[in-house]
Structure 1
Amino acid sequence: MAEDLLPQELRILVAVADSGGFTAAADRLGLTQSAVSHAVRGCERKLGAVLFERGRRGAVPTAAGERVAGHARRILRLLAALPGEARQAAGGTATGPAGPVRIVAFRSAAVQVLPQVLTVLAARWPELKPEVRVVRDLGRGTAGEVADGRADLALATLDATGGTLPGLLAAPLYREEYALAHQQGHPDPRGLPLVDWDENCGSYTADWWKRQDWLPPATINVSDDTVVLSLAAQGLGMAVMPRLSLDRPPAGLAVTDLGPDRPSRRVGYVTTPELARTAAVREVIRALREAPLPAGATPATEPPTAERGESRRP
């Protein structure tokens, strides 16, 4: 049975993984390089696995190191939350959640959902300090940030995390349909070239996409959905887009319904079972559930589940 890792050892592992080297981690933590190297070797001995590949360019986490660093971040986050949770449970002077709560979201969810949620949280719990990051919806997406311990809660596309992410708790908030974006007045928008962007793919559209004989392969692929809309508005192509990305269309852009079999995606929150019990994350979830649906979205009321990622459309 492995010896227990100490919190300081967990902090060192995370610092090495995040900074990419023993020297940089030592500078961050105010330690010597030899102390960091010794601690990492001790962790590897306790766990029975090599956690970092050492080289001239620094220290790169192995597969085991990536997983351990993710668990270490989550454990350290729970340790940081313990004092506030204990004071609240003991009926102390604290009136509500306080301190940081880390939220990640992809762009359209951040724009359409978070402003109202953050306004409610500021009014209810002024000592709560949301820290928001926008993360591209690629690969493991925002859910991966929670799994890796870099966020407490994510707004995520629940059907498209890019792989199985065990141990997470997910619940849908709304369903978002897709529509066709094209130049206003164009006589044959479905005959235009297809413009796409890197994040516009997922298991939720894959089957529908395969059935559409009129959809050609993408001739233009860009990294930002606002660029897609600009190109479509100028008649350089058409695009199949989620509705929340079409809330503020540029001049000259038209939006056309894709018909009764149009694809849709579920958007919801993802957290860990442990963090879901903390006061800060509970209040964020409460505010998310109470928030009005974004324009163009419909309710999604399925119960919370363990998150299961699915393959993405290439």
Structure 2
Amino acid sequence: METRELRYFVAVAEELHFGRAAQRLGIAQPPLSRAISGLERRLGAALLERGSRGTTLTGAGAVLLREARAALDAVAAAERRTRRAAQAATSRPALVLAAKAGASGELLAELLDAYACEPGAVAVDVMLCGPGEQTRVLRDGRADVALLHRPFDDTAGFDTEDLRTEGQVVILPAGHPLGTRPRLRLAEVTGLPGLPLPRWPRPDGTFPDGPGPQVRDHTQLTQLITLGRACAVVPESGRTGLRGGLTAVPVHDAPRVTTVIAWPPHSRSTAVAGLVRAAAFL
């Protein structure tokens, strides 16, 4: 299969509409339809069900969508890492470390300080991401290494080193009646009247259904909580540096969160190895 065919298929599979997919790709619809039909013939499998009610993915199509996204990410990552390697040969070398904005702040600072003491340490550019974005930028080559959080982030396909495991807390507006409780249960948090949990975007940019507000970044979330429009369950380290107007209460039965440092298994970067080594001794 060619990368062009994979891009065509991913567009159709995500749009579930040949006209919109063709517009997104900047091509006419007939050659797009022919390309998908040719791909199905060569694979010997129907990838899409075309009917009067629209287009849907078959089981085989769902598998190819997952694999095609991974393959296209790998191609993009190879290009980006090659370009960055070429640039590093003529300028200062640097690592790009992806981390979730508003999370693991103290751990990140400790890691950067520890790595700076490593022999041959290079500059580290920190890329602050929205929820789940660290995985995407690591897969597609925009980052060399990332701090991820199990069980929420997908670590499949990466080498990882566990750094820290912690419980979770709920962030509430200051003065909320539950703010004085020593601890809460998850069931109490998920049903708070007037304080729904936020809805974060999926990888495709859409939001799940639900009553909570749509949230794209940590700053937006803290503002909504301060205004009494939402609450949030976050790792315990998220209580560090809480501004006025917010309070945190432990949620004793929430899943524990493990922060890991992750990197591509094929990486041969001595800088990445040095950063991982520094992280392992925190």
TM-score (norm 1): 0.53
Q: Is there any run of 5+ residues in structure 2 with no aligned partner, and where? A: 9-21, 28-67, 180-187, 203-209
Task: State the Cα deviation string for residues 196-242 of structure 1 (Å, max 9, x = none).
Answer: 334499xxxxxxxxxxxxxxx54433323344334434544433232
Structure 2 counterpart of 1:147, from 134, 139, 150: 139
SS at the partner of 1:194? coil
SS at the partner of 2:152? coil
State the 1:160 CA deviation.
3.0
- Is 1:251 the equivalent of 2:244? yes
State the 1:279 CA deviation.
1.6
Q: Is there any run of 5+ residues in structure 1 with no aligned partner, and where? A: 1-46, 84-97, 202-216, 292-314
Once residues 256 and 56 of structure 1 are traced to their aligned partners in structure 2, the CA distance between those partners, rounded to angstroms, is 49
Quick check: 2:164–2:259 contact (8 Å CA) kept in 1?
yes
- Is 1:240 the equivalent of 2:266? no
Once residues 122 and 159 of structure 1 are traced to their aligned partners in structure 2, the CA distance between those partners, rounded to angstroms, is 29
Where does residue 279 of structure 1 map in the other structure?
270
Task: State the Cα deviation string for residues 32-82 of structure 1 (Å, max 9, x = none).
Answer: xxxxxxxxxxxxxxx7553666x898879x85654422344456667888x
Quick check: 1:182–1:238 contact (8 Å CA) kept in 2?
yes
Task: State the Cα deviation string for residues 100-146 of structure 1 (Å, max 9, x = none).
Answer: 222111113463322232233334346612122112123xx312222
SS at the partner of 2:4? coil
Pairwise CA RMSD: 3.8
Q: Which amino acid aligns with 2:264?
A: T
Once residues 201 and 277 of structure 2 are traced to their aligned partners in structure 1, the CA distance between those partners, rounded to angstroms, is 29
SS at the partner of 2:102? helix
TM-score (norm 2): 0.58
Once residues 127 and 67 of structure 1 are traced to their aligned partners in structure 2, the CA distance between those partners, rounded to angstroms, is 27
Where does residue 77 of structure 2 map in the other structure?
70
Quick check: 1:195–1:232 contact (8 Å CA) kept in 2?
no
Of residues 173-182 and 66-75 in structure 1, the stretch that sits farther from structure 2 once superposed is: 66-75
Q: Which amino acid aligns with 2:169?
A: A
- Is 1:132 the equivalent of 2:126? yes
Quick check: 2:96–2:125 contact (8 Å CA) kept in 1?
yes
TM-aligned CA distance change 1:78 to 1:241, over 3 Å = same
Q: Give me the identity figure in percent.
A: 22
Task: State the Cα deviation string for residues 260-303 of structure 1 (Å, max 9, x = none).
Answer: x222222111112232x432111111222223xxxxxxxxxxxx
TM-aligned CA distance change 1:165 to 1:193, over 3 Å = same
Structure 2 counterpart of 1:228, from 208, 213, 221: 221
